[in-house]
Structure formats: C-alpha cells, structure tokens
Amino acid sequence: MDSEGTIDWCCLPRFDSPSVFAAILDYERGGRFSICPSSKFSARQSYVLNTNVLTTKFVTRDGAALLTDYMPCEEVGGRLQIRDQIHRRVECTQGSIAFRAIFQPRPGYALGETRLTVVKNGCVASDGRDRLSLSADLGFKHEDGSAFAEFSLSRRESAWLIVSHGRRHPRPVGDYEWDRALSGTVRYWRRWARRIIYRGPWKDAVLRSALALKLMQYSSTGEMVAAVTASLPELKGGGRNWDYRYSWIRDTAYALGALVRLGPTEEARKYVSRLVSAYGGQFAGLPVVVGVDDDSDLTERKLAHLEGYEHSRPVRVGNAAEDQSQLDVYGFAMDLVYSLRQATGRLPRGTYELFARPLADYVSKAWRKPDHGTWEIRQKQRHYVTSKMLCYAALDRASRLASGSGDFRSASRWRRAMGALMAEVKRSGWSGPKSAFTMFYGARALDASFLLVPFFGSLKAADPGARSTIDGITKDLSDGVLVRRYRFRDGLAGDDNPFLPCSFWMVNCLVGLGRSREAKALFEALVSKSNHLGLYSEELDPRSGEALGNFPQGLTHAALINAALSVSLGTANPASGPRTKR
C-alpha cells in the first residue's frame, strides 16, 4: 500500500499467487484500490500499537478521517484462522469529508481482460480464472473497467469496504462482522507481540521487525517468503528485478532463528517439522528455494506488458534460483534446528535421526563441491568461501546435537570433516596480496557475505584472518554506513546498490572485534534508514537514500534483530546462547 491509502500491490490467495492489484509495477495497467478524500489532503500512516493493523490519517480543510486496513486473523481454540479478505474502514473523526473510492482489480498479473460488474451489495471482477468481490454499500458506478464511488462522511460516521477472494457474489457488508473481526485481529497481534522478550533500547525497531517477519510466514505450511513483492528494482533501469515471493531455505531459517532468539518458537517448530517431512529419510540435498505450497510454480518468466516500477523493465515472476546449488543453506538450516533445540529443549519427532544426521553426512562430502554462492551468481559454479564456511557451521551444529544424543561416533566423524574443510579454505580461499579471504578460490574480489562467518562461529571475528577480511570489506565495500555485497562482474547489466543486511552483519562483526561503540553507532545509523512505518527494503541508494529492491525484505529485518541482540548482549554470535530477558 502507498502512503496515501491506495493498495497498489496485492496477491491472493497466497503470496506467490498472480497479482490482483499491481499498480506499483504499472500504474495504468496493473490495477489498484484507492480510498481518499476528494479534495486536497495530507496523509500520515502508522500501525495500531503492537499490531500489523495499518491506519492512514487524512487531514483536509474540512476535517479529518482515519482509514484502517487489515487482513482478518484471530486465534480460535488455539488455532489461527485467516480469511482471504482485506477489510477497509474509513471513519470521519472531525468535520465532514467527501471521499472517492476507486476499485480497479486486474487479476492474473493484468494479462487478460477483466470483467467488472456492479451488482447488489458491491462489485465483482473476474479474468475468467480468478475472481474478486467487493462488498460495500456506497453506490458504485462502472466506467472503463473500474468502479467508482463518491460519498461523504460526517463526524463519527464510517464506511466499510471488504474485498474477498474467490466469491461469485459480494455478501452484504454487515455479514462480515467487521467490528468483531477487527477486535479479534488486534487481539491476535498483541497477544503474539507479548511473546517478544527483548527489552533493550531498540525494542520498537525489534518488535516491528518481528511483526513484519511473522506477517511473511505462510500459515498453512510454515514457509516464509523472502519479501512480499516482485520485480522492484535493485537499480532503477538496471534489469536486476527479481521475484522474492518464495521461500529460500537460507532466508527462512535465518529469519525464524531470529524469532527464536526473541522468544517465539512455534513458527520455527512448524518449519522444522516441514523440513523433516519434506526432506527427511533418504536425504539427497536441499533445494535453494521453494514455493509456499507444494503446487507453487517457480518458473521464471517476463511480463512484457507491464512497464515496471518507474519504467524498470523487465518485470519478472518466478525465480530461476530454484535450479541452482547453494551450499550455505545447510549451515542456515542446521543452525535453526540447533537454536530451536537450545531454546526449547526439544525438537519435532525424528528431527535428528531423519534430517540432521543424514544432512550432516551429506555435507561432510558435499562441501568439496562448487556452487553458485550466497548471491546466486548466474555464472558457472565456483568454490565460494562463505558457502564452505556455512558447511562448517552445519557440521558444527550437527556434532553438538550428536554429542547431546549420545551419537559420539557421528560427532567425531563430522569434526574430522570440519578440520579438513577449514584447512582447505585457509589454503585455497586466502589471498596473500589482499590479506583476506576472497569471494571464491582464486578470486581477488571480497564478499560481504563473509560477515556472516563470525555470527555462525566458523571463525571468530577476532581471528587474525577474519579480522583482516572484515577490515578489507570495510575498505573495499563500504559506502558510508552502508555495505555493498561485492564489486565483481557478475554478468548482469548495471551496478548494484548497498545491501542492507550486509550493513547489519557488519554490526555483529564490530561487536566481535570489541569495537562496541562503533557497533552501537553503526546500528543506530542503520535503524534510522527505515521508512515511516519502521520497515526496510533490500537495498538503499547511498546518495538519495531511496529504498530499492523488494519490500519489506525479510533478510533485512532478521539481520536487524540479530544485530540488536549482538549489541545488547555484547557477542557477535547470539545464535547458540540460552534465551534470557534482553
């Protein structure tokens, strides 16, 4: 949603479903749903305290009004109930205001013709495959594929507009029990927010990040999307436009690990159970990215009919990373399993025997292979240093679990593999001229993903090699307080902008180097880079400060949480410690 009450991006019924509103990618063709005053106005947005319920306050010469937006969810009998609906309430709080609502759905990425009809109780739209209905008693009129309504509200008067996915006919708006739905949704989010145990100086930023991450988990399966948008450019006009509405094991495990360290563990338990169910037993490796459900289609393709965000083509949906090999996923996955075990004292049934042990056996051999690296470089596979270091972390966590389970033979075998792995990385991944670990064997370029290594404990930040590499990354890849991923010709057109998670990873490293004042100052500078709602994108333009890339970016919010814990606890590796009030 934009800052003035327009829904300009929405996919229903799932994160990775075709869009029903996509004006953010093409204002003319994409479709939108706006509610705003008819006359000149100012707008200010905020969340209802400790929730994901959004409000937009409008102020005009004639009065003030409040637009409330949310997707209803509540806990009933201990179970989360979610509806494929968007509830919108506009209430006049002062004076009298005239409003204009525009309902312009374009299902199916706006690829086909949308048939929009004004009917009793509202409107219904369909492209022949998907259907969307709007329930509202506002006298909508149809014009050029859109529905318009003009209405006025005086003080204390309100109007409800409710979007439902899949319905043939809109129900009377009163049937939705909107007052109960709103109170139940607020109650659900506040109850969940109380599970956050962090009490440090940045609790508002940490809580908003946690709430954003929770909102990005698909409740039916436990999969978490990397972001809720597709094809927002990393560089305007540069072609680095990707679809992030899928679940990367790396991003999901890292984000859920951050939540575990804050207090909530149910989300991680559900996801680990899915990993065991999907990949346990005859282990043959983990995919890089999957859909939020088993029938998701990740085939990457271009939508040539959409002009892109601020004319940034191509617009892509799907993601070809599904065909890549990325060895770092094993470190992230095993760290989540271990963190869950540390936090709760137990794991879902069969986790060690069916998943952790066969995964570690696989990694003890697979670490020698090349891969595409953390950044999914679309070139030949190489021996990426961070990938190896995260394999080391996977074997470390597995050996600890094995020792705790009495499986000492496996633990010993995996520790021997760890020794061989580290010896090779120090021999082949180190550059004497750069005095640093490089991006991959034989490279000269540095890689900011190395900043994760101290967090996972493969090397401590104070290790001479790690310290020198961190200093090199600071020198080569920093742009003010921001950190770029790399300066390496990756085969894609255009330059890259600083990647926000890397900057937060640097905070962890500074803590590990004993430079606590610098770490705190950097963290506070980064916290100030959020938008007006406390949300973060993937990248930032270092000159204009403009948010770029997909949004909100789960990896950024998880990195913020982990950095806050590092500064608060004074450790670069909060991943394995017991939970405490923080």
Q: Which residues pair with 68 in a beta bridge?
A: 55, 89
Q: Residue range 561-571: average pLDDT?
A: 93
pLDDT score recorded for residue 575 = 61
Cβ within 8 Å of residue 420, ≥6 positions away: none
SS3 267: helix
Whether residue 367 contacts residue 327, with contact meaning beta carbons closer than 8 Å, is answered with: yes
DSSP-assigned letters across all residues of 444-485:
---BGGGGHHHHHTSS-TTSHHHHHHHHHHHHHHEETTEE-S
Whether residue 51 contacts residue 186, with contact meaning beta carbons closer than 8 Å, is answered with: yes
pLDDT score recorded for residue 576 = 53
d(CA 429, CA 488): 16
pLDDT score recorded for residue 155 = 96
* In the chain, % of residues over pLDDT 90: 89
SS3 274: helix
Each residue's pLDDT tens digit, 25-65: 999 999 999 999 999 999 999 999 999 999 999 999 999 99
pLDDT score recorded for residue 527 = 97
Each residue's pLDDT tens digit, 146-169: 999 999 999 999 999 999 998 888
Asked if the model's pLDDT at residue 71 lies above 80, the reply is: yes
Each residue's pLDDT tens digit, 253-266: 999 999 999 999 99
**For the chain, what are the domain ranges?**
6-177+185-189, 195-576
Kindly state the tokens that stand for 528.
């100030």
Q: Residue range 486-495: average pLDDT?
A: 86
Each residue's pLDDT tens digit, 205-245: 999 999 999 999 999 899 999 999 999 999 998 889 999 99
Q: Residue range 468-494: average pLDDT?
A: 94
pLDDT score recorded for residue 582 = 42
Confidence of residue 581 (pLDDT cuts 50, 70, 90): very low
pLDDT score recorded for residue 580 = 38
pLDDT score recorded for residue 491 = 84
pLDDT score recorded for residue 445 = 97
Is the domain defined by 195-576 classed in CATH 1.10.287.70?
no
pTM: 0.96
Each residue's pLDDT tens digit, 351-391: 999 999 999 999 999 999 999 999 999 999 999 999 999 99
pLDDT score recorded for residue 578 = 41
pLDDT score recorded for residue 555 = 98
Confidence of residue 144 (pLDDT cuts 50, 70, 90): confident
Kindly state the tokens that stand for 20.
């029903």
d(CA 307, CA 298): 21
Tell me how long the chain is: 582
Among all chains, which residue has been given the structure tokens 């009998």?
A: 77
Angle ∠(26,27,28) on CA atoms, nearest 5: 95
Each residue's pLDDT tens digit, 391-409: 999 999 999 999 999 999 9
Each residue's pLDDT tens digit, 164-197: 998 888 999 989 888 899 999 999 999 999 999 9
Radius of gyration over alpha carbons of the chain, in Å? Answer: 25
Phi then psi dihedrals of residue 434, to 5 deg: -90, -15
pLDDT score recorded for residue 573 = 73
* In the chain, % of residues over pLDDT 70: 99
DSSP-assigned letters across all residues of 59-103:
E-SSEEEEEEEE--EEEETTEEEE-SEEEEEEEEEEEEEEEEEEE
As to burial, measured by CB atoms within 10 angstroms (0-12 exposed, 13-18 middle, 19+ buried), residue 179 is exposed
d(CA 282, CA 358): 8
Q: Residue range 528-532: average pLDDT?
A: 96
Angle ∠(103,110,7) on CA atoms, nearest 5: 40
SS3 128: coil
User: What are the angstrom distances between the C-alpha of 38 and each of 28, 96, 247, 391, 580?
Assistant: 20, 12, 41, 58, 52
Of the candidates 56, 82, 55, 57, the residue with the CA atom closest to the CA atom of residue 71: 82
Mean residue pLDDT across the chain? 95
